[in-house]
Amino acid sequence: MTTSNLMKVMLALALATSFAAVAAEKEVSDSDRIAQYRDMISDGNPADFDEMAGEELWKTAAGPSNATLEKCDLGKGPGVVKGVYAILPKYFKDTDKVQDLESRLVTCMVTLQGFSEEELVKKPFSTEQKKSDITLLTTYVVGQSKGVKMNVSTKHPKEKEAYDLGKVIFNYRAGPYDFACSTCHATNSVRIRMQDLPNLNVKSNAQSAYTSWPAYRVSQGLTRSFQWRLNDCFRQQRFPEPKFISETTIDLTMFLAVSANGAQYAGPGLKR
Amino acid sequence: MNMEVNLERRNALKAGGGLGLMALFGAVGLLSSKAALAEWNKTAFSAKTMDEALAAMGVSTAESNAIFIQLTVPEIAENGSIVPVSVTSTFPNVEQISIFVDKNPSVLAAQFNIPAGTESMVTTRVKMGQTANVVALVKADGKFYRTAKEVKVTAGGCGG
Amino acid sequence: MGNPMKIRAGLKDGVTEVKILMQHEMETGLRKDGEGKLIPAWFITEVLAQYKGKTVLDAQFGQSISKNPYLLFRFKGGAVGEKVTVSWVDNKGDKRTDEAAIA
């Protein structure tokens, strides 16, 4: 080793140790600790069981028409499940509407299986007593997009319109507290209890938030869909509860999904 | 596993009732020796305090050792319903690893018997009603050793 | 009959790593239902993992193990394609056996 090389190594060592000392002194924040916790529980997601149950439902004949959902077109043609969540919401010709996964599943359950839409949307979310078929199916379908890059289109005028409206709704202040989604989700380090709320105007936050839903909620012991997430945030916002798969919820989903474009879909997630 | 054993196991499964795994597997000869499986230690699992639990497990002394027992827990658990716990021991001849939560209504969470050929490490998840110590107890060469770490719980996980 | 488990077993450098996720409520017996009545204790008490008829892990659980119990452990040896069998019983005598091929 030449002298100058030796010097370089010694300098590097000296720098490394002083950095280490700085790092050790730096206070570990609660956010870091929570990140550590989330990382430690990321394996072994109970949502896996709902994926299994949802796949069973997908393949089992049901409803007045006694049909399976295997011919359901979720956006990539009849029966294609792989990768569809990464392109939803999307405009569908047959309904002439922009639909998210949950609303599209309802369409298929109505057209293929003969269920009544009115009945389906009455109790769309799981409870401790009964898991929702729509949520189970949703969990199965999203699992088939794990690792697929989000690529939601706004090419169709109706898609563009949904996106624009979603953006407006996100920033629209109203309700008894004059809250908008952006009140809680458009500045850094807004906190409720211990959790930092994601600033959804920051691309990387929007990506990690959107791609980790649907998610198994530890506190509830249930897998929750994105429609549920929005519903719960409307409640946080003291807004009237939005109707399941209403246009407003789909517009918002469109806005958030497009904001997540480019990221790999990582759900179903696991949340506190 | 051959057909015959499978069939036998099915019959045993059908026999149902309150059969423990020991009876279940012992009966069909799936275990090389019955003694390999210890019976579920009701007294230890019902114990309300660490002392009671240790007594029920026949532990008179357990030396503190944080070097040969690595206990990995999060510093903060966002939800007490799921607290990941990992215990690894570098003692030779580890026979048993147990995990306790010292402030839970029943303190003993799990006991693992480690047969030869199985690494002395295990990861599981426990519930915690409040901020408390997670205790790892390791039996190696017939002796007991322990270590503990505190986990802060922001939302309790025992309900009701 | 209990609900199926999810078992993954992978061989790496001569060691088989087994990850098990069980479906079980793991009721502590201390929780109350909507009407304020105690929900009776209902939890897995024993778990046994075997490879080629030999026990590779023998676990006993109490009420403090989380809902949908998770286990990770490793044993020496194992061969790709061979099966790891896992069984559990709970305090009501319900039981479940599943197996997974080592990958």
pLDDT above 70 as % of chain B: 72
- Listed residue (C36, C6, C4, C20) closest to C70, CA to CA: C20
* Among chain B residues, CA nearest to C34: B160
Please name the member of C3, C4, C21 whose beta carbon is closest to the beta carbon of A44.
Answer: C21
- Are A272 and A217 in contact, with CB atoms under 8 Å apart? yes
* Among chain B residues, CA nearest to C45: B40
What is the arithmetic mean of pLDDT over A2-9? 48
Task: Give yes or no for C81 touching B (CB within 8 A).
Answer: no
pLDDT of A49 above 90: yes
**Cβ distance of B38 and C60 shorter than 8 Å:** yes
Assign A190 a pLDDT band (cuts: 50, 70, 90): low
**CATH (domain of B70):** 2.60.40.2470
Alpha-carbon distance B80 to nearest alpha carbon in chain C (angstroms) = 9
Give, as one character, the DSSP assignment of residue B34.
Answer: G
CA dist A135 → A142, B128, C77 (Å)? 10, 29, 41
B159 belongs to a structural domain: no
Note the pLDDT of residue B122. Answer: 97
Sign, Cα dihedral of A211, A213, A216, A218: positive
Residue-range domain boundaries for chain A:
47-271
Q: Fold for domain C6-101?
A: Immunoglobulin-like (2.60.40)
Task: Give yes or no for A191 touching B (CB within 8 A).
Answer: no
Residue type, A98: V
- Judging by beta carbons within 10 Å of its beta carbon (0-12, 13-18, 19+), is residue A72 exposed, middle or buried? buried
Note the pLDDT of residue B22. Answer: 55
Strand partners, B100: B108, B135
Which chains neighbour C (Cβ–Cβ under 8 Å, 3 or more pairs)? A, B
Alpha-carbon distance B77 to nearest alpha carbon in chain A (angstroms) = 6
CA dist B67 → A122, B84, B89 (Å)? 57, 20, 9
Assign A16 a pLDDT band (cuts: 50, 70, 90): very low
Note the pLDDT of residue B61. Answer: 92
Query: Do B63 and B130 share a domain, yes or no?
Result: yes
Note the pLDDT of residue B23. Answer: 54
Task: Give yes or no for A28 touching C (CB within 8 A).
Answer: no
- For residue range B35-48, list pLDDT tens digits in order: 445 689 999 999 99
Assign A35 a pLDDT band (cuts: 50, 70, 90): confident
Please name the member of A45, A48, A221 whose beta carbon is closest to the beta carbon of C67.
Answer: A221
Query: Do B14 and B47 share a domain, yes or no?
Result: no
Query: Do B146 and B118 share a domain, yes or no?
Result: yes
Task: Give yes or no for B6 touching A (CB within 8 A).
Answer: no
Count Cβ atoms below 10 Å from residue C24 Cβ, excluding itself: 21
CB contact burial A211-250 (16+ within 10 A = b; e otherwise): bbbbbbbbebbbbbbbbbbbbebbeebebeebebbebbbb
Please name the member of A28, A37, A221 whose beta carbon is closest to the beta carbon of B78.
Answer: A37
* Strand (E) or helix (H) holding B45: helix B42-46
Task: Give yes or no for B13 touching A (CB within 8 A).
Answer: no
Which of A165-174, A196-205, A211-220 has the least mean pLDDT? A196-205
Task: Give yes or no for A52 touching C (CB within 8 A).
Answer: yes
pLDDT of C1 above 90: no
pLDDT of C36 above 80: yes
- Are C45 and B40 in contact, with CB atoms under 8 Å apart? yes
* Residues in chain C within 8 Å Cβ distance of B17: 93
Assign B20 a pLDDT band (cuts: 50, 70, 90): low
Q: Are strands C44-51 and C54-61 parallel, antiparallel or unpaired?
A: antiparallel
CA dihedral A149, A153, A100, A62 (to 10 degrees): -80
**Cβ distance of C75 and B119 shorter than 8 Å:** yes
> A89: cis peptide before it, omega within 30°?
yes
CB pairs < 8 Å spanning A and C:
23
A138's CB contacts (< 8 A; 6+ apart) are A54, A101, A102, A105, A214, A225
Alpha-carbon distance B124 to nearest alpha carbon in chain C (angstroms) = 5
- For residue range A108-154, list pLDDT tens digits in order: 999 999 999 999 998 899 998 899 999 999 999 999 999 999 999 99
Residue-range domain boundaries for chain C:
6-101
Terminus-to-terminus CA distance in chain A, angstroms? 53
Which of B5-9, B25-29, C4-8 has the least mean pLDDT? B5-9
Alpha helix (H) ranges present in chain A?
3-25, 30-40, 47-59, 101-111, 117-120, 133-143, 157-171, 181-185, 203-210, 226-236, 247-259
pLDDT of A25 above 60: no
Three-state DSSP state, A85: helix
Query: Do B120 and B49 share a domain, yes or no?
Result: yes
What is the arithmetic mean of pLDDT over A163-169? 95
Please name the member of B72, B82, B155 whose beta carbon is closest to the beta carbon of A41.
Answer: B82
* Strand (E) or helix (H) holding B138: strand B132-140
CA distance A30 to A165: 36
Query: Do B84 and B144 share a domain, yes or no?
Result: yes
Higher pLDDT, C3 or B135: B135
Mean pLDDT, all residues of chain C: 94
B158 belongs to a structural domain: no
**Cβ distance of B119 and C87 shorter than 8 Å:** no
- For residue range C83-101, list pLDDT tens digits in order: 999 999 999 999 999 999 9
As for how many domains chain B has, the answer is 2
What is the arithmetic mean of pLDDT over A32-57? 90
- Are B22 and B37 in contact, with CB atoms under 8 Å apart? yes
Mean pLDDT, all residues of chain A: 87
Q: What is the pTM of this model?
A: 0.81
* Among chain C residues, CA nearest to B18: C93
Query: Do B140 and B110 share a domain, yes or no?
Result: yes
Q: Fold for domain A47-271?
A: Cytochrome Bc1 Complex; Chain D, domain 2 (1.10.760)
Task: Give yes or no for A49 touching C (CB within 8 A).
Answer: yes
* Residues in chain B within 8 Å Cβ distance of C54: 32, 115, 117
Alpha-carbon distance B106 to nearest alpha carbon in chain A (angstroms) = 21
Note the pLDDT of residue A222. Answer: 94
CA distance B76 to B82: 11
Query: Do B144 and B85 share a domain, yes or no?
Result: yes
What is the arithmetic mean of pLDDT over B122-150? 96
* Residues in chain C within 8 Å Cβ distance of B107: 64
Note the pLDDT of residue B111. Answer: 97
Note the pLDDT of residue C32. Answer: 86
Note the pLDDT of residue A230. Answer: 95
Query: Do B125 and B72 share a domain, yes or no?
Result: yes
CA distance A77 to A74: 7
Residue type, A235: R
- For residue range C54-73, list pLDDT tens digits in order: 999 999 999 999 999 999 99
Q: Which residues of A are catalytic?
A: 233
Query: Do B96 and B148 share a domain, yes or no?
Result: yes
CA distance B52 to C8: 36
Which chains neighbour B (Cβ–Cβ under 8 Å, 3 or more pairs)? A, C
- Nearest 5°: CA angle at B54, between B53 and B60? 155
**Cβ distance of C21 and A46 shorter than 8 Å:** yes
Range of the domain at B122: 38-153
Note the pLDDT of residue A30. Answer: 80
Query: Do B66 and B27 share a domain, yes or no?
Result: no
Residue type, B115: P
Query: Do B96 and B80 share a domain, yes or no?
Result: yes
Assign A198 a pLDDT band (cuts: 50, 70, 90): confident
What is the arithmetic mean of pLDDT over A219-235? 93
pLDDT of A19 above 50: no
Q: Which of A3-17, A181-195, B78-92 has the highest mean pLDDT?
A: B78-92
Q: Which of residues 8-27 of C touch B (CB under 8 A)?
A: 15, 26
Query: Do B21 and B83 share a domain, yes or no?
Result: no
- For residue range C37-46, list pLDDT tens digits in order: 999 999 999 9
- Are A270 and A215 in contact, with CB atoms under 8 Å apart? yes
